[in-house]
């Protein structure tokens, strides 16, 4: 991680020089700024099954977001954001008047309305949302002004959770400033609420959990019911995982992802109805409460055998929101709505988390078996290809990610590549590739072939790093040629190492 920190320090020096040329300082307070760090993630198995209770297997990436905070005497909270590494986004600099911001922190709804009112500064919600969460849930009063500097090497719109990295790093840095203890699971759940209630994206919890609780070089198993960390495990010797970017922009707030999520919850209502479970309207329109002692409200618990034997035939392949709502009071999902004019792929979206939960469980068992031979490698790859095809059936594929997976199939075991799948919310973004540990040349060849065919550069993600809880927080210290990160205060905790 030292190279990562050194790159951040160089970017701070460049950013300070850039701002000073425009007559602006980087930091304006007198205290040494605090800094926290949180990585992006590569979704190896599980993906969109998280909101239905699936097991997911996530790898924290080497790329990460650094967030520095400092108290100031100003009457505003200033947020400066600048990427570093490959293709960084442009410099962004926004000041939020303190009086306005304080009023907006009264509730998540008010914070969302305030931060989304001006589209040019909507990105600030990922940072200022942490202030809302800390105020609403912990009573943190920001008091005076703040300087917040965000430097992230996690590329945006690539399906590797750039938003969660910024949310978690912001929450960790502001928690340290407030002197609040940082339980890693609680931090992840708070950051999921930021994404859901302030940013307005209906994501599950796996992104924030990985960014908060991840361990370098380990796959992090999360049973998303709602967020149960299980024992992490290293990728076995002889195997490696890479990410390859399709260069087709991924947005978790996109309509495709939201529709698939709604369709899965529609399917759960239909299954509950078919099994005679008590269903009652909830306080909010379009919401229901379901008494489900058997599955606990999670589709993933239904089980493949029973689903295929008894239930799949009771689900329509497609169903409009209007048709569903004419017979059913709603869904249990608290953050999405059934839209009458949309036709949903109910059967595929319902089947996906049930099968994906089983696939992820088998993948973990094989990875942890201590026996990695050609048969095991081929089965691991087959599970990834099945997951990818299931995304497509739900409507979350893309021409770019499909081509990357096809190229992985073509190169195949002869070149040390065993499997590949689209990741995260789908509809573009990054593909995870499993191969032999010495197959990196084949991965780069895959990326080159894709770039030649499509004209889209294909970035390769390689390597891993620790999550925010293990990093903790550090002070920035002034040096002759810029800023230096002092040793972090992170201490492995039970939640972080689970």
Per-residue pLDDT of the chain (498 residues; tens, 9 = 90+): 678 999 999 999 999 999 999 999 999 999 999 999 999 999 999 999 999 999 999 999 999 999 999 999 999 999 999 988 777 778 999 999 999 999 999 999 999 999 999 999 999 999 999 999 999 999 999 889 999 999 999 999 899 999 999 999 999 999 999 999 889 999 999 999 999 999 999 888 999 999 999 999 999 999 999 999 999 999 999 999 999 999 987 655 555 899 999 999 999 999 999 999 999 999 999 999 999 999 999 999 999 999 999 999 999 999 999 999 999 999 999 999 999 999 999 999 999 999 999 999 999 999 999 889 999 999 999 999 999 999 999 999 999 999 999 999 999 999 999 999 999 888 889 999 999 999 999 999 999 999 999 999 999 999 999 999 999 999 999 998 889 999 766 644 333 332
Adjacent-strand bridge partners of 241:
434
**Which spans in 184-298 are helix H?**
184-193, 206-213, 255-274
Q: How many domains does the chain have?
A: 3
Cα torsion angle, 296, 301, 303, 304, sign? positive
Closest CA to 240 of 433, 376, 423: 433
21 lies in the same domain as 164: yes
pLDDT value at residue 392: 95
Phi, psi of 283 (to 5 degrees): -65, -35
319 lies in the same domain as 456: no
342 lies in the same domain as 368: no
Token readout for 404 is 């990357």
Hey, which residues are catalytic here? Answer: 207
In angstroms, the CA 51 to CA 192 distance is 12
Closest CA to 206 of 81, 300, 293: 300
104 lies in the same domain as 162: yes
Residue that is last in its domain, among 352, 375, 392: 352
Residue with tokens 């505003």: 76
Token readout for 18 is 């850039």
Q: Are 15 and 91 in contact (CB under 8 A)?
A: yes
Residue that is last in its domain, among 305, 327, 352: 352
Domain hosting residue 320, numbered range: 255-352
460-461 β-sheet, strand order:
417-422, 430-436, 239-245, 460-461
């Amino acid at each position: 991680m030292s190279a990562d920190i050194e790159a951040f320090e160089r970017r701070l020096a460049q950013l300070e020089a850039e701002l000073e040329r425009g007559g602006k300082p980087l930091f304006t307070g007198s205290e040494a700024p605090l800094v926290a760090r949180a990585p992006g993630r590569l979704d190896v198995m599980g993906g969109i099954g998280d909101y239905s209770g699936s097991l997911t297997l996530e790898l924290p990436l080497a790329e990460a977001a650094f967030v520095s905070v400092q108290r100031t005497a100003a009457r505003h909270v200033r947020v400066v954001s600048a990427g570093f590494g490959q293709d960084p986004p442009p410099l962004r600099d926004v000041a939020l008047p303190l009086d306005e911001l304080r009023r907006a922190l009264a509730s998540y709804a008010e914070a969302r309305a305030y931060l989304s009112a001006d589209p040019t500064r909507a990105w600030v919600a990922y940072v200022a949302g942490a202030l809302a969460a800390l105020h609403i849930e912990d009573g943190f009063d920001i008091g005076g002004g703040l300087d917040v500097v965000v430097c992230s090497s996690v590329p945006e719109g690539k399906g590797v959770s750039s938003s969660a990295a910024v949310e978690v790093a912001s929450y960790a840095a502001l928690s340290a400033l407030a002197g609040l203890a940082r339980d890693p699971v609680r931090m992840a759940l708070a950051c999921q609420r930021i994404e859901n209630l302030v940013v307005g994206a209906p994501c599950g919890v796996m992104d924030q959990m990985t960014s908060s609780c991840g361990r370098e070089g380990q796959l992090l198993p999360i049973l998303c019911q709602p967020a149960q960390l299980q024992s992490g495990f290293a990728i076995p010797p002889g195997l490696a995982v890479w990410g390859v970017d399709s260069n087709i922009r991924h947005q978790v707030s996109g309509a495709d992802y939201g529709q698939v999520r709604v369709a899965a919850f529609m399917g759960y209502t239909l299954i509950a109805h078919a099994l005679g479970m008590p269903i009652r309207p909830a306080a909010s329109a379009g919401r229901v409460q379901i008494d489900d002692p058997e599955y606990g409200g999670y589709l993933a618990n239904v089980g493949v055998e029973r689903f295929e034997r008894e239930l799949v035939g009771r689900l329509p392949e497609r169903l409009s929101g209007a048709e569903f709502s004419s017979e059913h009071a709603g869904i249990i999902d608290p953050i999405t709505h059934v839209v009458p004019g949309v036709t949903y792929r109910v059967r595929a979206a319902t089947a996906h988390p049930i099968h994906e939960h089983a696939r992820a469980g088998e993948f973990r068992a094989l990875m942890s078996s201590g026996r990695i031979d050609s048969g095991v490698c081929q089965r691991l790859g087959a599970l990834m290809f099945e997951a990818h095809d299931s995304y497509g059936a739900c409507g979350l594929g893309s021409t770019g990610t499909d081509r990357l997976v096809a190229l992985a199939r073509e190169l195949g075991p002869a070149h040390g590549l065993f499997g590949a799948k689209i990741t995260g919310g789908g509809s573009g973004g990054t593909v995870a590739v499993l191969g032999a540990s010495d197959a990196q040349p084949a991965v780069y060849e895959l990326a080159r072939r894709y770039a030649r065919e499509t004209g889209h550069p294909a970035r390769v993600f390689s390597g891993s790093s620790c999550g925010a809880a293990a990093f903790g927080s550090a002070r920035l210290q002034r040096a002759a040629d810029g800023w230096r990160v002092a040793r972090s205060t992170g201490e492995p905790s039970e939640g972080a190492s689970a």
